[in-house]
């Protein structure tokens, strides 16, 4: 049950994110669908390659693909219901997607008995991989590489899951809430990792 709910939360949140970025770039309906699907499933596909799960396993998630397509279509047809509020609620959707998918990736790697490095990689790739591909296709600099503490929250989720071997739904959703709140705080208070340019500028 918890696994399915994490899947749905992450899929809806990231499909919304991909669709809205596509509309901001004035993509057509196909482009909106493509960016929504890539944002929702791109990270999981990369993760599967990394930890030895057949990429074809993604095609068993037909219900989630349908959810992502319907979410993107709803945003495309009724943008007035979403776009005016995206600046306020978009960070929440993004934070939920990051948290849900990072936890899902960490759980998958942990269940396979993989080492901590693989658990962290799976969490980060599942949580941010789709967003990186989305930004590249939209001609944007990936957020995770230059602004705010973003991927580090996925790392934190992986560390907690590996250290405490979380499987209880209550514990997992408590972690989901914690990572979501931390991601939102890092956005609103502009917490950033150190960055430098060549030449020390």
Domain count, the chain: 1
> What's the rounded Cα separation, in Å, for the pair 149 and 13?
19
CA–CA distance, 192 with 39 (Å, rounded to integer): 23
Looking at the domain assignment, is residue 199 inside a domain?
A: no
Determine the angle formed by the axes of helices 83-111 and 116-137, rounding to 10 degrees: 150
Give the residue-averaged pLDDT of 87-94.
79
Task: Name which of 162, 63, 65, 144 is nearest 105 in CA terms.
Answer: 162
Segments forming the whole domain that contains residue 95: 1-191
What is the per-residue pLDDT for 199? 67
Residue 107 has pLDDT above 90, yes or no: yes
d(CA 81, CA 127): 26
> Quick check: is 2 in a domain?
yes
In the predicted model, is pLDDT for residue 94 greater than 90? Answer: no
pLDDT for 195 equals: 78
∠ CA 60-65-68, rounded to 5°: 155
Provide, rounded to the nearest whole percent, the portion of the chain with pLDDT above 90: 64
Q: What is the pLDDT of residues 35-88, one digit of tens each?
A: 999 999 999 999 999 999 987 888 888 899 999 999 999 999 998 887 777 777
Indicate whether 87 belongs to any domain. yes
Between 196 and 25, name the one with better pLDDT. 25
Whole-number pLDDT of residue 83? 75
**Amino acid 200: pLDDT:** 53
Q: Is 198 part of any domain?
A: no
In a domain, 197, yes or no: no
- Report if residue 64 sits inside a domain: yes
151 within domain boundaries: yes
Of 154 and 89, the one with more pLDDT: 154
Are the C-beta atoms of 95 and 184 separated by less than 8 Å?
Answer: yes
Q: Rounded mean pLDDT of 1-27?
A: 87
**pLDDT tens digits, 176-193:** 999 999 999 998 898 888
Residue 12: HSE in the Cβ half-sphere, 13 Å Cα cutoff: 10
Residue 103 belongs to a domain: yes
Helices 29-51 and 83-111 cross at an angle (nearest 10°) of 20
pLDDT digits (tens, 9 = 90+) for 123-144: 999 999 999 999 999 999 887 7
């Amino acid at each position: 049950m918890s696994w399915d709910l994490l899947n749905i939360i992450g899929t809806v949140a990231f499909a919304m994110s991909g669709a809205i970025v596509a509309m901001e770039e004035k993509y057509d309906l196909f482009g909106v669908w493509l960016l929504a699907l890539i944002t929702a499933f791109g990270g999981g596909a990369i993760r599967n390659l990394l930890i030895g799960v057949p990429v074809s396993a993604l095609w068993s998630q037909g219900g989630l693909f349908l959810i992502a397509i319907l979410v993107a279509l709803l945003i495309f047809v009724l943008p007035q219901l979403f776009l005016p509020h995206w600046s306020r609620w978009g960070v929440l959707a993004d934070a939920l997607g990051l948290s849900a998918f990072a936890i899902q990736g960490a759980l998958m790697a942990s269940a396979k008995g993989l080492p901590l490095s693989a658990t962290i990689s799976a969490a980060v790739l599942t949580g941010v991989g789709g967003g990186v591909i989305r930004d590249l296709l939209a001609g944007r600099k990936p957020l995770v590489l230059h602004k705010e503490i973003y991927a580090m929250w996925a790392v934190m989720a992986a560390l907690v899951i590996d250290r405490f071997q979380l499987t209880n739904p209550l514990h997992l959703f408590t972690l989901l809430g914690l990572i979501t709140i931390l991601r939102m705080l890092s956005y609103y208070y502009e917490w950033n990792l150190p960055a430098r340019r060549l030449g020390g500028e």
